[in-house]
Amino acid sequence: MSLSKLRPLANLQRAGWLPGMQQQVRLQATAAATQEGVVNGAWENAKPFKDLPKIPMLDVMRKMDEMRKLGKPRYHKLFAEYMAEENITRFWFPGMGWQVFITEPEDVQTMFANDGKHPIEPGFDFFVQYRHYKKNLFPDSTGLLGSHGEEWYHARSMVQQDMMRPKSALYYVDDISEITNQFLDLMQKNRDVPDVIPFIYRWALESVGAIFLDSRIGCLNDQPAMEAQAMIECVDVCLGDPLIELSTKPPIWKIWKGADYKKFDAASERMFQITSGIIKKAQIKNKDKVYENKESMNVLAKLTEKCGPDSTIPQVMAMDALFAGIDTTGNTSAFILYLLGSNPEKQELVYKEIVEKLPPGKQLTASILNELKYPKAVVQETLRLLPVVGGFGRLTQTDMVLAGYQIPAGTKVSATIVEPMRSEKHFQNADKFIPERWIRGCPAAEAGKKSHPFACIPFSHGPRMCIGRRFAELEMHVLIIETLRRYKVKYEGPVVDLITPFINRPDGPIKVTFEPRN
Ligand code: HEM
């Protein structure tokens, strides 16, 4: 069978639907496997693994191939069909072993409750292998995307506090407001573009640069500066087809370096050189600054202080942010503009709240942002309806019972989250865009169903949850606020849904128009 036939499966794996291909599944629970995750008697009473429903391999391959040829890979719908009866299924593929799929929030909760201290996300295997192979670039840390186990834990503990504290992100309100206004100016000059996506990626890259490189790259200039243009090109390659090909096939690149590897490697090295130059300059600039307290330090200064001046961890964290923080935040932001543009009455509610706190001429501050409820609700509702990450995987480290079946330690389990988030079982009027459902005290929220706390967790949960969450949220909140202050957003095209070439993205262009408010 040709490798290209494996691509749809592998795309699922990269998107978090199928865990990594490289690690072999250990099907049998060994005597050494702990049972700490299994409640008394639950294991004995559960059905054995061998009775777990199976997806017929050829059937799924054929259907996925058809979807791919039509350019509409909606794997979440396909897997929902296979899980309609039992909420759990498994799938075997040569070289990948058994993959178990779960979908119910209770099972997702059980999976996370047994995550342990060092959760293993097999979807990151390509980065782990690539960065260990390129030890010259990653001498003292392969970062969060590039490690598992103790090594991951060390890297995470160095950045956790400074990245996850809400105040660390709020430090950037002014920068992100300025960047967002620059993006809006650029959109005014480019009113007739057929799709907002390329522009929103430039906004996301500029934002990530401002936060993690402590520099303005210049992606939003009419003509991006040379360094910015090089970054845009590198990011295009690094997040584009070469990465999809490499991260979704067995690591033959270690033996034979094909065109995809060469392209990815060259762009990745170039990105590394550019970021390293920018970071060095920023660190020199920061070196002599005297900070009143920790709150007055930017993220790079905090990480440099914590990891030491010679550590490469701040730079590897910036690389992680460039890989994980552009198309995720970019696609979600495009979905936000689409949903606001096609729900004008909801848009007016959001605008009303914004203009009350922020009359024209007043500057957005961290404390005003904290008071605004609607922009946060819009982000959560967008991620419920159109999540950019369709699931997350774990290599289980302890025996557990999921959906009534014994799941031995060493099994790859994927939580598929799109369908439950869109299901009437968990959310009333599930197909409607109702941001109010996330606002406590709001009638729409009170009247709605109380959803399971694990029914909508787009940033995942537990020690390996998204480390960029606070920054992504800040960027998107500011985007909503600054955009609606200046414009009415309109979308009049066809309904947009998800496709999963890699990270979930819109299945068609998003042509939004920005109509000045006065
Ligand atoms: C809408 C935006 C975003 C969404 C929905 C999102 C979602 C996720 C999810 C679901 C995971 C996997 C967690 C797991 O396996 O349990 C993840 C991991 C990660 N994300 Fe995000 N993300 C977003 C934006 C960002 C941004 C802006 C950054 C920039 C720093 C970022 C950096 C990372 C990193 C480094 C990881 C790996 C964490 C680790 O392994 O410790 N993400 N993200």
pLDDT in tens, 483-505: 999 999 999 999 999 988 778 99
Does residue 16 carry a pLDDT above 70? no
Measure the CA–CA gap between 166 and 162, rounded to whole angstroms.
Answer: 9
User: Residue 328 C-alpha to ligand 1 middle, in angstroms?
Assistant: 8
Higher-pLDDT residue of 442 and 100 is: 100
User: Is the minimum distance from the CB of 397 to ligand 1 under 6 angstroms?
Assistant: no
Sign of CA dihedral 131, 133, 137, 142: positive
Tokens representing residue 43 in the block = 């294991």
- Yes or no: say if 437 and 448 are a contact pair by the CB < 8 Å rule: yes
Q: How much distance in Å is there from the Cα of 324 to the middle of ligand 1?
A: 6
Ligand 1 pocket, residue 392 CB under 6 Å? yes
**CB of 457 sitting under 6 A from ligand 1:** no
324 within 8 A of 392, measured Cβ to Cβ:
no
Closest approach atom of ligand 1 to CA 472: 27
**Which pLDDT does position 2 carry in this prediction?**
34
User: How far, in Å, from the CA of 355 to the mean position of ligand 1?
Assistant: 31
Six token digits for residue 386: 């159109």
Q: Which of 157, 303, 335, 466 to mutate to test the pocket of ligand 1 (most atoms within 8 A of CB)?
A: 466
Distances (CA, A) of 68 to 1, 5, 65: 17, 11, 5
Q: Taking the CB of residue 501, how many other CB atoms lie within 10 A of it?
A: 18
Q: Which ligand 1 atom sits nearest the alpha carbon of residue 143? A: 35
Ligand 1 touching residue 389 (CB < 6 A) = yes
Q: Is the CB of 458 under 6 A from ligand 1?
A: yes
- Radius of gyration from C-alpha coordinates of the chain: 23
327 lines ligand 1 (CB under 6 A): no
Token pair recorded at residue 259: 């065109």
Res. 352: pLDDT tops 90: yes
**How much is the pTM?**
0.91
CB of 79 closer than 6 A to ligand 1? no
Q: What is the mean pLDDT of residues 208-215?
A: 94
Count of positions (residues) in the chain: 518
Position 317, amino acid: M
- Average pLDDT (21-42) is 45
Flag whether pLDDT at 37 surpasses 60. no
Q: Going by CA atoms, what residue is nearest to atom 15 of ligand 1? A: 392
**Res 78: pLDDT:** 86
Closest CA to ligand 1's atom 24: 325
Measured in Å, how far apart are the chain's first and last C-alpha atoms? Answer: 61
What was the pLDDT predicted at 95? 65
Report the SS3 class of residue 245: helix
The answer, yes or no, to whether residue 447 has pLDDT greater than 70, is no
Q: What is the pLDDT of residue 40?
A: 65
Asked if residue 35 has pLDDT above 50, the reply is no
The tokens for 120 are 């293993």
Q: Is 329 in the pocket of ligand 1 (CB under 6 A)?
A: yes
37 lines ligand 1 (CB under 6 A): no
Q: 294 pLDDT band (50/70/90 cuts)?
A: confident
More confident residue, 445 or 278: 278
The residue to which tokens 């550590």 are assigned: 311
Overall average pLDDT of the 293-321 stretch: 90
Strand order in the sheet with 97-102: 88-93, 97-102, 412-416, 391-395
169 lines ligand 1 (CB under 6 A): no
Cβ of 164 less than 6 Å from ligand 1: no
**Which of 208, 266, 205 lies closest to 232, judged by CA?**
205
Q: Is 388 in the pocket of ligand 1 (CB under 6 A)?
A: yes
Q: What is the pLDDT of residues 77-111, one digit of tens each?
A: 888 888 888 899 998 876 667 889 999 999 999 99
Residues whose CB is less than 8 angstroms from the CB of residue 23 and which lie 6 or more positions away in sequence, other chains included: 122, 125, 395, 412
Alpha-carbon distance of 110 to 106, in angstroms, equals 6
% of the chain surpassing 90 pLDDT = 67
Per-residue confidence at 364, pLDDT binned at 50, 70, 90?
A: very high
Please choose, from the candidates 158, 164, 161, 134, the residue with its C-alpha nearest in 3D space to the C-alpha of residue 146.
Answer: 134
